[in-house]
């Protein structure tokens, strides 16, 4: 009885710290565009949401996907096409892009979810490459030129998003919604079952859980949120290109998640901010051609020395020295 009370107290304390951290980040986000270039901040938020979506798969379901770039690109292309050619408002275009990414996630999941480990990763990579070459040839994507000049439009047909400041707060709202969905999912019974599957899948099966169904739901949710990030990014930069569909993008999101901390709620946000900042500043200096090499070295160092990532290591340090 006493042990259970202590466990419940620890869980509540952890949830309270998470809420405080989230409120602090939200406060920073509200005032940040007055001190930092809004377009840079929007890029950080888009990739932070993408990394959080990937972390839902790797950190909580234990599934390593090498194909998440396909969902990011699908959201961007479908939203861009819907806004440009169909003339829909931004929120409708984003919704269409998210639905398309979720549908693709369902197809990917159905084909890959019964495999584990490296086999699962290779299937997702192969499917993502198939999507990449499809987007190279498809007429609606613009091929190697991509979709250029995607209009930001008017939110709900009323609020103009042409300016960077209103667009920033729209992106911030989308990030908060996506982050809240992920947070709610991982702290729900569904999320606890995902953790059980990650830790010991045979035991979860023996308890009567339909493991493949739970993994498929997690895959589709992760794909939808990755599509949300891609849809938003296409409106921010008014561009949807093959860069988002390339396998390098799947590698980048893995780096962001590992650098920040796999299985931590704020780790992907910190990792995405770190990687985007490094790319931004290094690309402007004499080391611009060495950016991939530097990121690769950071990845190696992180894997060898900081297995828990930035946030994970901070949590371990504070737990060891202040608890």
- Render 2-68 in DSSP notation, one character per residue: HHHHHHHHHHHHHHHHHHHHHHHHHHHHHHGGGTS-HHHHHHHHHHHHHHHHHHIIIIIS----S-T
Query: In this structure, is residue 53 part of a structural domain?
Result: yes
CB 99 within 8 A of CB 252: no
Task: Report pLDDT for 6.
Answer: 40
Domain limits at 242?
36-246
Sequence-separated (6 or more) residues with CB below 8 Å from residue 171: 42, 45, 46, 232, 236
Task: Report pLDDT for 7.
Answer: 44
Task: Report pLDDT for 82.
Answer: 93
The position carrying tokens 């308890």 is 207
Task: Report pLDDT for 184.
Answer: 92
Query: In this structure, is residue 148 part of a structural domain?
Result: yes
Q: Give the count of beta carbons closer than 10 Å to the beta carbon of residue 125.
A: 18
Alpha helices in the chain (DSSP H): 2-31, 38-55, 69-85, 90-112, 117-137, 164-186, 189-199, 201-206, 211-237, 247-260, 267-282, 291-305, 309-322
Task: Report pLDDT for 15.
Answer: 60
Angle between helix 164-186 and helix 211-237 axes, rounded to 10 deg: 170
Query: In this structure, is residue 173 part of a structural domain?
Result: yes
Query: In this structure, is residue 314 part of a structural domain?
Result: no
Total domains in the chain come to 1
Query: In this structure, is residue 136 part of a structural domain?
Result: yes
Task: Report pLDDT for 5.
Answer: 44
Query: In this structure, is residue 285 part of a structural domain?
Result: no
Query: In this structure, is residue 80 part of a structural domain?
Result: yes
**CA–CA dist 96, 102 (Å, integer):** 10
Sequence-separated (6 or more) residues with CB below 8 Å from residue 144: 136, 242
CB 74 within 8 A of CB 104: yes
Query: In this structure, is residue 21 part of a structural domain?
Result: no
- Compute φ and ψ for 65, nearest 5 degrees: -105, 130
By residue count, the chain amounts to 323
Per-residue pLDDT of the chain (323 residues; tens, 9 = 90+): 444 444 455 455 556 677 777 788 888 888 888 888 899 999 999 999 999 999 999 989 889 999 899 999 999 999 999 999 888 999 999 999 999 999 999 999 999 988 888 889 999 999 999 999 999 998 888 888 888 888 998 888 888 888 899 999 999 999 999 999 999 999 999 999 999 988 888 898 888 888 999 999 999 999 999 999 999 999 999 989 998 998 889 989 998 998 888 888 888 999 999 999 888 887 777 777 777 788 788 778 877 777 788 888 888 877 777 76
**CA–CA dist 183, 191 (Å, integer):** 9
């Amino acid at each position: 009885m006493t042990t259970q009370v202590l466990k419940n107290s620890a869980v509540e304390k952890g949830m309270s710290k998470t809420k405080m951290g989230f409120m602090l980040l939200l406060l920073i986000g509200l005032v940040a565009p007055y001190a930092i270039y809004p377009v840079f901040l929007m890029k950080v938020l888009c990739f932070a949401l993408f990394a959080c979506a990937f972390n839902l798969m790797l950190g909580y379901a234990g599934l390593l996907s090498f194909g998440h770039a396909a969902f990011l690109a699908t959201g961007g292309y479908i939203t861009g096409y819907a806004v440009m050619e169909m003339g829909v408002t931004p929120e409708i275009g984003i919704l269409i892009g998210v639905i398309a990414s979720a549908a693709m996630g369902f197809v990917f999941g159905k084909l890959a979810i019964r495999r584990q480990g490296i086999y699962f990763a290779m299937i997702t990579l192969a499917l993502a490459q198939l999507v990449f070459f499809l987007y190279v040839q498809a007429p609606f994507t613009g091929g190697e030129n991509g979709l250029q000049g995607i209009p930001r439009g008017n939110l709900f047909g009323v609020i103009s998003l042409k300016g960077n400041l209103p667009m920033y707060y729209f992106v911030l709202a989308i990030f908060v919604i996506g982050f809240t969905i992920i947070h709610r999912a991982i702290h729900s019974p569904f999320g606890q079952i995902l953790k059980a599957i990650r830790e010991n899948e045979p035991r979860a099966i023996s308890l009567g859980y339909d493991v493949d169904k739970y993994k498929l739901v997690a895959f589709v949710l992760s794909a939808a949120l990755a599509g949300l990030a891609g849809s938003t990014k296409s409106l921010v930069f008014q561009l949807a290109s093959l860069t988002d569909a390339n396998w390098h993008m799947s590698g980048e999101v893995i780096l962001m998640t590992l650098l920040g901390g796999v299985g931590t709620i704020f780790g992907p946000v910190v990792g995405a901010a770190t990687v985007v900042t490094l790319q931004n500043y290094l690309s402007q200096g004499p080391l611009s051609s060495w950016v991939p090499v530097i990121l690769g070295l950071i990845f190696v160092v992180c894997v060898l020395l900081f297995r828990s990532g930035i946030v994970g290591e901070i949590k371990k340090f504070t737990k060891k020295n202040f608890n």
